[in-house]
Structure 1
Amino acid sequence: MRKKAAAALLMCASMAMWAGCGKTSNRFLYAATPGANQIVIFREDPNAGVLTQLAGSPITAGQGVESLVLHPSKKFLYAANSGADNISLFTISSTGAITEVTPRVDAGTAPTLMVIDSAGKYLYVGNSGSYDISVFSIDSGTGALTPVPQISKQLTFTIGMTPFKMQLAPSGNILYVTGQTTTGVIQAFAVNAGVFSNQPIAGSPYTTGNAPYGLAIDSSGKFLYTANTIDASISEFKINSDGSLTALAGSPIGQTGTGPTTLLIDNSGKYMYVGNTQNLQAYSVGSDGSLTLNSNSQFSTAAQPNTIASDPSGKYLFVGSPSAIQSLSLNSSSGTLTSIATYSVSTTPTSIVVTP
């Protein structure tokens, strides 16, 4: 009996790294498909980057569900419903299934963007139709959202343009928002406990190329990049200690691909991937923030890749294209991507998130 028990323990130990000794090591991927008003859910095999759609997926979501964001606790998923002007809260089970908690919370007109601070205390929502940003505090126990009044006593903060992309600095106290006025711009706003300062960041707004639909900040918080769709270029900035931006020498740089719309810096911070009209391109990121196009840098994808996500390990990327999600493996030594598989979805995914 003791020999059997010892053998079982030995087997369990030897398999622990692979299977967690009976505990699943799967991750879950969620994709918003606004054309179908659905959220598609896949299980990711973390050892291979292979996706398997969950039973019951896709699920019905809000009208025009456009953007998804995960709470750092991994307990909650938020969805911005651009066609209904509200935000949905979902709880996440251990199986990856999600359950909506009603009622939905009102936002501004046509909410299309969301970011959450690393502490999981505040949710920022970019409203494309009302040219403003809504802020909500988050209940850590239930995930419930409560609007945060701004200095003006209004429940939104006006930015005066349609927000294309937005991202918080790693510190959580500066919010960067791209958009278009007479030219492409990026605005920088100081925030404290979800409240926007009425004192602008020095030099904001900063000029980018035209139509800056892509935005990325490196994990160190030192550099910021925009993908400028009309100009087929990338703008490069240094982030100063006060949150202001300084364009790097030679910025913006030209793209060999056309229509760049999305950017992703890999988990190591060594590579940046740009989604163009027909492919992905890879750049090496220098210690000074400069970008160098990699040799053999173009990787085929389905047409018009418009969103890119990484799994937490950094080994796999997931690319959303019209009616498809493609998984790719990433070589950490060279930045080379290799296609694993392509998975059909009902309509174009606009936002992809993967659980840690």
Structure 2
Amino acid sequence: MKFRKFGKALLMGAVSLGAILSVTSCVESYTVGFLYVTGTQSTGTSGSAGQGIISGFKIDHNTGRLATINGMPLSSGGSYPSRAVLLLSSRFLYVLNQGGSDCTTNASDPACAEANIVQFSVAGNGALVSQQTFYTQGKNPFRIFADATGGHIFVLDHDAPDDSSCAAALGAGVTTCGDITVFNVDPTTGRLSLVLNAQVTAANGSQLTYFPVPANPIDVLLSSNFVLTLSGTPATGDFVFPYAYNTTGQLTLSQNSIQTITASQATAIQAGNSFVYILDNEPITYTPANSNTPVTVPSQILPFSVGSGGSLQAQTGGAVPDVPAQTNPLFLLAESKGKWVYVANAGDNTNATVTNTQSGIAGYVIDTSSRQLTTMSGSPFGSGAGPSCLVEDPSDQFLYTANFNDSSVTGSVLDPNVGTLSSLPGSANKTYTLNGPAAYCLINGRTS
């Protein structure tokens, strides 16, 4: 009988130990996703400055801390990469290399002729392997995006390859323009092939291999079946030009033409929760609630909905002031639950050696009825110097910025109740050093 009692106690002890181990295993760290950052090499071997690189990190599900993916960083396959997209269930990554340091305004730079798109395959451990290289039709490409199906890639070129076709698409008297190059994406290999312009022909009668857009493009967005190009200059003001989009990748001229907006220093056109936001780096004066004293802040956010023919309808309440202490808004992220919006303010990012006090993250609450943005309690929040992008991890717990001025990645914990941001837990590994200034970041949620 004693033996039986001992055996029973031993069995119960084993069951208890198993339960403890089971609970422990539930809180073990694991990778919830991968973070990729494009940037420019400024440290390393001699002669490597200016070369494009891709850095990659594993995201810890419990802490949000980052660990470098084996074999990274690696070459982007060109110089000065700007944007990138993940397609076909994150099996392929496409990186757009601009070619030169500032090809949108300095087209004479010989390096600008080396612009390309490099395709990478993505392994289950997040590692990248270079595959093929493709080229846009225009000059000085600086934006790349994809449709929701992943069947088409669009690239915004600052300069069209042939100005003689500008008037045919945009109207008599138009002598210069940019363009959008559209590619089909092969669902098996990821290979890119051109979508020809079925609406506009070249002077020789052949189909154009691109879609003209107004001169001086700043940014571009696919929203509500329209491709919206933001163009303009401080001297002339900014405007939006729509193309209608269909699932074949074809762009057709919308019934609406150029639409002027109340901005002259726009930096980006971004989407969030079915709305369109234009970020504008010019002062706005307003009177805060519960105050009779006007306040001037250096930048603003212009919210719109997309109407008939791609026209932008100003949202009730009008322009939203950016936070007073920060400038140069470059990127907007609407978090996954549709409650909050965050804006990355880069400040003065003209000098990569400057630690900029004018940069950080502004947080906004989305009103459930009016959809208007109101400043979040505790905003602004910290980031590295000169954030150039914002991403949310696949578990909706953390936000990350990749920073131009101090060549870093920084992470924050997102409060699920009120949306405020705080530092990652622990005393170390809150800032991750890159090999050079960051340009863009994106998240891969496929981990196997």
Shift of 1:212: 2.1
Structure 2 unaligned runs (5+)?
A: 1-10, 41-49, 100-113, 161-177, 201-206, 284-298, 348-358, 425-429
Q: Does 1:275 align with 2:344?
A: yes
Q: Does 1:29 align with 2:35?
A: yes
For residue 67 of structure 2, what is the aligned residue in structure 1?
A: 52
- Alignment deviations for residues 33-81 of structure 1 (CA, whole Å, 9 cap, x no partner): 0344111111111222111112321101112211111114110000111
Q: Does 1:325 align with 2:331?
A: no
Shift of 1:261: 1.8
For residue 398 of structure 2, what is the aligned residue in structure 1?
A: 316
Distance in 2 separating the partners of 1:273 and 1:37: 28
Q: Does 1:264 align with 2:294?
A: no
Between the aligned residues of both structures, percent identity stands at 26
**Whose strand proportion is higher, 1 or 2?**
1
Please tell me whether the aligned partners of residues 38 and 54 of structure 2 are also in contact (alpha carbons under 8 angstroms). Answer: yes
For residue 372 of structure 2, what is the aligned residue in structure 1?
A: 290
Please tell me whether the aligned partners of residues 230 and 238 of structure 2 are also in contact (alpha carbons under 8 angstroms). Answer: yes
Please tell me whether the aligned partners of residues 208 and 226 of structure 1 are also in contact (alpha carbons under 8 angstroms). Answer: no
Shift of 1:234: 0.8
Deviates more, 1:40-49 or 1:135-144: 40-49
Q: Does 1:214 align with 2:257?
A: no
Match of 1:196 among 227, 247, 251: 251
Distance in 2 separating the partners of 1:241 and 1:269: 24
Deviates more, 1:204-213 or 1:108-117: 204-213
**Whose helix proportion is higher, 1 or 2?**
2
Q: TM-score, normalised by structure 2?
A: 0.71
Q: Which secondary structure does the structure 2 equivalent of 1:298 belong to? A: coil
Q: TM-score, normalised by structure 1?
A: 0.88
Please tell me whether the aligned partners of residues 31 and 59 of structure 2 are also in contact (alpha carbons under 8 angstroms). Answer: no
What is the Cα-based RMSD across aligned positions, in Å?
A: 2.5
Amino acid at match of 1:89: Q
Q: Does 1:159 align with 2:226?
A: no
Match of 1:226 among 278, 293, 316: 278
Please tell me whether the aligned partners of residues 194 and 209 of structure 2 are also in contact (alpha carbons under 8 angstroms). Answer: yes
Shift of 1:303: 2.0
Q: Cα–Cα, structure 1 residues 129 and 63, in superposed 2: closer, same or farther, change >3 Å?
A: farther
Q: Which secondary structure does the structure 2 equivalent of 1:299 belong to? A: coil
Q: Does 1:178 align with 2:225?
A: no
Distance in 2 separating the partners of 1:355 and 1:79: 14
For residue 77 of structure 1, what is the aligned residue in structure 2?
A: 93
Deviates more, 1:103-112 or 1:312-321: 103-112
1:90-129 to 2 correspondences below 5 Å = 90-129=120-159
Distance in 2 separating the partners of 1:272 and 1:103: 35
Q: Does 1:136 align with 2:183?
A: yes
Please tell me whether the aligned partners of residues 88 and 187 of structure 2 are also in contact (alpha carbons under 8 angstroms). Answer: no
Distance in 2 separating the partners of 1:72 and 1:315: 25
- Alignment deviations for residues 64-122 of structure 1 (CA, whole Å, 9 cap, x no partner): 21111111411000011111222110000011111111243444212211111111100
Name the count of aligned residue pairs.
344
Amino acid at match of 1:224: V
